[in-house]
């Protein structure tokens, strides 16, 4: 456990919220899947004449895939792709992703979910993904803690992250909770921004190559270097909300 994390938790004290649900992002939070996504994005975009770097995959993570494709096609090719045209590119990306080995669950995730459940809080998952095999894997790996109807995907919203819509939908699907009752756990700038914009207390997990300041500047209330460390500090973190 780091002294920095303990110091950060002290900033939670006096936060006038009543946590009832924790909403997790999927890629880069539950699964160590971002390196695979980065490779798949680069290969697919190159096929369609779009330059896309590994850093771009981290910077745009959490957005709906079709939105990312339309943005880069407009910027680099001067083309206004329809959603259907962008979906064809996304299908190629998904194909490449599923050719790669299955990403592992991050150390600490199951422990954290067990602690959240024991604390009496609900769990939801909010992802920009529209890949059904991934969503099926979530229910397989975390079915003891979250049900299929508590998973929010790209199919559930028209506006993806960084808009607040995915997390507002996540609150609704988890049990019609208020933003002040939600804790968001994110690793990506767009996702952190979305959680903060939704009015939820937002925890950043810096599992990627970005500087901490990038996530904090997007509105993260607290940052942990790993999900393992967040799990270790869960009880202290949760109790801090009730110290007025």
Token pair 């909010």 is at which residue?
126
The DSSP output letter for 179 is: G
pLDDT over 90, % of the chain: 80
Q: Is 220 left (phi over 0), alpha (psi -120 to 50) or beta?
A: beta
Mean pLDDT, the chain, integer: 92
For the entire predicted model, the pTM comes to 0.85
Ranges of each domain in the chain? 3-33+104-240, 34-99
**Distance, CA of 156 to CA of 57 (rounded, Å):** 22
**Mean pLDDT calculated for residue range 26-43:** 94
Question: Is pLDDT larger for residue 77 or for residue 64?
Answer: 77
Query: Looking at the predicted structure, is the pLDDT value of residue 20 above 70?
Result: yes
Are 156 and 55 a contacting pair, CB within 8 Å? no
Q: Rounded to whole angstroms, what are the CA distances from 113 to 118, 148, 180, 227?
A: 8, 16, 20, 11
Query: Looking at the predicted structure, is the pLDDT value of residue 167 above 70?
Result: yes
pLDDT tens, residue by residue, 180-223: 999 999 999 999 999 999 999 999 999 988 899 999 999 999 99
Burial of 19 from C-beta contacts in 10 A (0-12 / 13-18 / 19+): buried
For 55-214, list the strands marked E by DSSP.
122-126, 151-152, 182-186, 201-205
Of the listed ranges 36-45, 82-91, 152-161, 171-180, the one predicted with least confidence: 152-161
pLDDT reported for residue 135: 77
pLDDT reported for residue 59: 87
| Residue 23, H or E segment | strand 21-24
Which CATH topology does 34-99 take?
Answer: DNA polymerase; domain 1 (1.10.150)
Of the listed ranges 65-79, 126-140, 202-216, the one predicted with least confidence: 126-140
pLDDT reported for residue 134: 72
Dihedral of the alpha carbons of 210, 211, 214, 217, in degrees to the nearest 10? 160
DSSP string, 145-159: T--GGGEE-GGG-SS
The DSSP output letter for 188 is: S
- Domain 3-33+104-240 annotated CATH 3.40.50.1000: yes
**Mean pLDDT calculated for residue range 108-115:** 99
Q: How many CB atoms lie within 10 A of CB 3?
A: 7
**Please, which residues have CB within 8 angstroms of residue 1's CB and are 6 or more apart in sequence?**
229, 232, 233
Confidence of residue 3 (pLDDT cuts 50, 70, 90): low
Confidence of residue 55 (pLDDT cuts 50, 70, 90): confident
């Amino acid at each position: 456990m780091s002294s920095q994390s303990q110091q950060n938790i002290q900033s939670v004290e006096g936060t006038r919220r009543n946590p009832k649900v924790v909403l997790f992002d999927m890629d880069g939070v539950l699964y160590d899947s971002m390196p695979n996504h980065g490779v798949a994005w680069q290969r697919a975009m190159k096929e369609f004449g779009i330059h896309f770097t590994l850093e771009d995959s981290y910077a745009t993570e959490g957005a709906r895939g079709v939105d990312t494709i339309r943005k880069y096609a407009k910027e680099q090719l001067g083309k206004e792709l329809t959603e259907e045209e962008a979906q064809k590119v996304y299908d190629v990306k998904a194909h490449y992703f599923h050719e790669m080995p299955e990403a592992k669950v991050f150390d600490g995730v199951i422990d954290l979910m067990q602690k959240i459940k024991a604390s009496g809080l609900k769990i939801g998952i909010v992802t920009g993904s529209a890949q059904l095999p991934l969503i099926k894997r979530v229910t397989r790996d975390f079915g003891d803690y979250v049900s299929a109807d508590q998973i929010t995907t790209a199919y559930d919203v028209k506006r993806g992250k960084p808009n607040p819509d995915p997390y507002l939908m996540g609150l609704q699907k988890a049990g019609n909770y208020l933003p002040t009752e939600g804790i968001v756990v994110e690793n990506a700038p767009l996702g952190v921004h979305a959680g903060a914009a939704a009015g939820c207390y937002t925890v950043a997990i810096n599992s990627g190559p970005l500087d901490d300041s990038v996530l904090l500047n997007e509105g993260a209330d607290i940052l942990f270097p790993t999900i393992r460390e967040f799990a270790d500090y869960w009880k202290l973190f949760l109790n801090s909300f009730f110290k007025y």
